[in-house]
Every structure is written in structure tokens, then in C-alpha cells.
Homo-oligomer: A and B are copies of this chain.
């Protein structure tokens, strides 16, 4: 049954050094507020899991939170590279980050399998690519009916899953709308889950009987964090701050400039 702690308490309770932590959001509802709280609390040695690591992961990596990244596309969407991510991979600054590299199809199925309580996902993938050469987590299984060899990847079952959503009701039932990505899968697949929301309301006002609602009893912590996805966006609440995504390219281009910006805008802003 969901509780309603503060962001500080939710993160302090759920996220520990060495944990495997997924902050997800497929180009929408990216949990920046929660990511910044993890940075402020000084977590170290995290294995970060995300299909599309972008600015918040650039920030976590640049601040030294991560020792490993499980991912399938890491960039600044619409702008270019993640400069802190590249600095870590190419020059080990501020430390080395081990990469477990997938494609979207496999990570999407791995989230599905994690939510489904299975140890692995089975799909048709990676044929003829170099990815199995660099990722020992890409294996095969043989279909007992057709003899076809299919790809298998481990299910994603992180210690902590963090997503952002539009709103919750007083029972902690959470509505997700628009690009729903893998929000539900992350909550269900994770051992401990945090959902940050724009607001808590009396009536969830889900528009359809089939709206994507994650029941409160399947969530550990619901945290009220208005604007918690900015500079990404929350469908129906606020738009993506494209100018900031473009500005980040320059902010992140230099180690000192990055550190100064983080100090002023994250470490001292709670």
C-alpha cells in the first residue's frame, strides 16, 4: 500500500549505495526531481538502468553516483551527445562507468519480463549485430516447437524503480497518460518503487476505463513533486523545455562549468 513521504525521505529510504536503480521515462515524464535528490544524498556505486539515459543520467554520472549503466540509447535527444557520459566512458571522469549495452527491443522486453515476474525475456533480436560480442547478457534459447533460435536477455528487476506521472488519488492510485513508455513495467518490476506526481487529487478523473492506472497497492511511495519531470515534460501539465536541452550541451561541455552548475542548481536547491 502506497505511503506519501517527502521526496527526501522516499529517496533516503529506498536508495542505498550499490543499489541497482532505474529512473525511467521514455522521452516523457523523466524523474529529474528524484534524480537530483539522489545526487544531493551523495549516493555512490549505483548501477543505473535506463533505456534512454539523457540529461539526468548525464548529471548523475558526472556527479559520480554511478559505476555501471545498463542502457540502449544514451544521448541528448534532438541535440547530440551526452558529454558527461562520454567523458566517463572515454576518459574515466569522474570515474569509470561499466556499460551493459542493449537495443531498445531487448530492454523493452526485459522490462516486460521483469514486470511479469520471469527470469528472462525471449524475443527476436540482435541478429547479425555486434552487440552480442560486447554484452554477455545476450544469450539464446531454442523454440521447442519450431527449432528457431531466439534471443534471450535477463529480465530487469532493479532494487529501486523511480518514475514520474501526472497525478495520484488519496489511495495512491496513479494515472499515467500520453507517452506511457515503460512506466508501469518499472514500478511492477522493481523491488522498491517511487512514483513522483504533479499533484494528489480526490478524484483521479481517469478518462477511460482502460486508462493506464497503477494501483496504489502496487506502489511503495507516492511523492508529490510538482514540476518533477522538468525540463522534460508532463503531458497535460507543462511542455518540454527544449531551450534547456540545447543549453545543456554547453553547460556540460566543461567539467568545471558542469560542477559549478550542479552546485548552484542542484546541490544548493532542495
Give chain A's interface residues, CB within 8 Å of chain B: 116-120, 122-124, 137, 139-146, 148, 150, 152, 154, 177-178, 180, 206-212, 235
Contact = CB atoms under 8 A, between A and B. Distances in A.
A122 to B, nearest CB: 5
Contacts of A235: 209
Contacts of A119: 143, 145-146, 148, 150
20 contacts: A116-B123, A117-B124, A118-B122, A118-B123, A118-B124, A119-B143, A119-B150, A120-B122, A120-B143, A120-B144, A120-B145, A122-B122, A141-B141, A141-B142, A141-B143, A145-B154, A178-B209, A180-B210, A207-B207, A210-B210
A123 B177 CA distance: 29
Most B CB contacts (10 A, CB to CB) among A116, A119, A146 go to: A119
A139 B143 CA distance: 10
A119 B143 CA distance: 7
Contacts of A140: 144
Nearest to A212: B210
Contacts of A124: 117-118
A145 B150 CA distance: 14
Nearest to A140: B144
A210 B166 CA distance: 14
B207 A150 contact: no
A117 B146 CA distance: 13
Given A209-B235, A210-B211, A139 B145 contact: yes
A109 to B, nearest CB: 9
Nearest to A178: B209
A142 B141 CA distance: 8
Contacts of A180: 210
Given A122-B122, A206-B208, A208-B211, 12 more contacts: A116-B123, A118-B122, A119-B148, A119-B150, A120-B143, A120-B146, A139-B145, A145-B152, A177-B210, A208-B208, A209-B235, A210-B210
B177 A209 contact: yes
Contacts of A122: 118, 120, 122, 141
A177 B207 CA distance: 11
Listed from nearest, the 4 A-B pairs whose CB atoms lie closest are A139-B144, A208-B208, A207-B207, A119-B146
A154 B146 CA distance: 9
Contacts of A209: 177-178, 235
